């Protein structure tokens, strides 16, 4: 119970990595505000996790300041305070660079990057009045390597890791630690259809993954728990990569036929 008496806000909690992190936080004793734009799935997760601990779902589009501020205010009113923020909500859109429209670029940046600023500021102001807290932002290996069709996504994630570093310095005097997680390829709704329907894509990803398996939400949740807990009390400003060893690989690996 490493998060006993803690309150966490998790964005993008209705699916994938956010859902796995919220579940892990609840199992470790935290009370959790589940935030997502998908109200139906958000309420399903709320029902599921209510059997384990105290949670409440808050519908919110994380890219709009009025909704973010109202959500943080409602979460504080419901739980009394916030100790942990996991800014995780995100979208991935694939476009050839020359076909990427201004509207799609703005949409990805607003949802993935601006949301980290908006939630970080709203929750950070609250944490500053309490003398501390922990903020974790969901980045990606796209910060250090990317694909030509993911330019907006890569820009948003590069921005998140830079913003994380700047926030960590600016908020240190308030006792707030700020870190990011950079997942590799994690099997979630974000990429499930692409990965499961296409054996060639899957094998190509495995050939770039020394641990020779795709990641699960729980692989990221373990890192989030570490960064949320006092075990990481002297860690701030970092992006921790949970990528199956990909970032250090400078060639491709043979993938066994069985995989
Ligand atoms: N799955 C991967 O391989 C992978 C790799 C690196 C980084 N990530 C990052 O992890 C995070 C979670 O991704 P996932 O794989 O769990 O995806 P997912 O699609 O399973 O879940 C994303 C969640 O965010 C919510 N969301 C999307 N836009 C929103 C908005 N405007 N307001 C509120 N909620 C919104 C969705 O409704 C969904 O519940 C994202 O930031 C993603 O970029 C994922």
pLDDT for position 83: 98
* Nearest-angstrom CA–CA distance, 239 and 139: 8
Domains of the chain: 7-246 (3.40.50.720)
pLDDT for position 119: 99
User: Which atom of ligand 1 lies at the shortest distance from residue 186's CA?
Assistant: 3
**Sign of the Cα pseudo-torsion (14, 17, 23, 25, in order):** negative
pLDDT for position 196: 72
**pTM over cut 0.85:** yes
Of the chain, the percentage scoring pLDDT greater than 70 comes to: 100
Q: CA dihedral in degrees (218, 136, 105, 73; nearest 10)?
A: 110
User: Which atom of ligand 1 lies at the shortest distance from residue 217's CA?
Assistant: 16
Q: Which of helix, strand or coil describes residue 215?
A: strand
Residue 172 sits at φ, ψ, to 5 deg, of -60, -40
Q: To which H or E segment does residue 217 belong?
A: helix 217-228
Best residue among 108, 188, 223 to mutate for probing ligand 1's pocket (most ligand atoms within 8 Å of CB) is 188
pLDDT for position 194: 76
Q: How confident is the model at residue 35 (pLDDT cuts 50, 70, 90)?
A: very high
Is 64 a catalytic site residue? no
For 53, counting Cβ atoms within 10 Å of its Cβ (0-12 exposed, 13-18 middle, 19+ buried), the class is middle
Q: How far is the CA of 257 from the centre of ligand 1 (A)?
A: 31
Check whether 116 has a pLDDT greater than 90. yes
Work out the mean pLDDT of the chain and round it to a whole number.
96
């Amino acid at each position: 119970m490493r998060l006993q008496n803690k309150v966490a806000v998790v964005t993008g909690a209705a699916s994938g990595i956010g859902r796995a992190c919220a579940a892990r936080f609840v199992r470790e004793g935290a009370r959790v505000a589940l935030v997502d734009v998908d109200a139906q799935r958000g309420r399903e997760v709320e029902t599921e996790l209510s059997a384990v601990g105290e949670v409440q779902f808050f519908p919110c589009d994380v890219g709009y300041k009025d909704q973010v501020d109202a959500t943080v205010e409602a979460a504080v009113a419901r739980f009394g305070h916030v100790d942990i923020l996991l800014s995780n909500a995100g979208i991935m859109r694939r476009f050839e660079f020359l076909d990427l429209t201004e509207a799609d670029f703005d949409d990805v940046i607003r949802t993935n990057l601006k949301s980290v600023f908006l939630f970080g500021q709203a929750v950070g102001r609250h944490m500053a009045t309490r003398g501390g807290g922990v903020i974790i932002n969901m980045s990606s290996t796209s910060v250090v390597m990317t694909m030509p069709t993911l330019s907006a996504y890569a820009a948003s994630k590069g921005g998140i890791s830079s913003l994380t570093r700047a926030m960590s310095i600016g908020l240190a005097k308030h006792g707030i630690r700020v870190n990011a997680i950079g997942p590799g390829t994690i099997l979630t709704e974000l990429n499930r259809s692409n990965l499961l329907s296409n054996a060639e894509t899957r094998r190509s990803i495995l050939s770039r993954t020394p641990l020779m398996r795709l990641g699960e939400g729980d692989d990221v949740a373990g890192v989030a728990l570490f960064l949320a807990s006092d075990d990481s009390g002297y860690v701030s400003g970092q992006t921790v990569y949970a990528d199956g060893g990909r970032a250090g690989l400078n060639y491709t690996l043979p993938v066994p036929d069985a995989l």
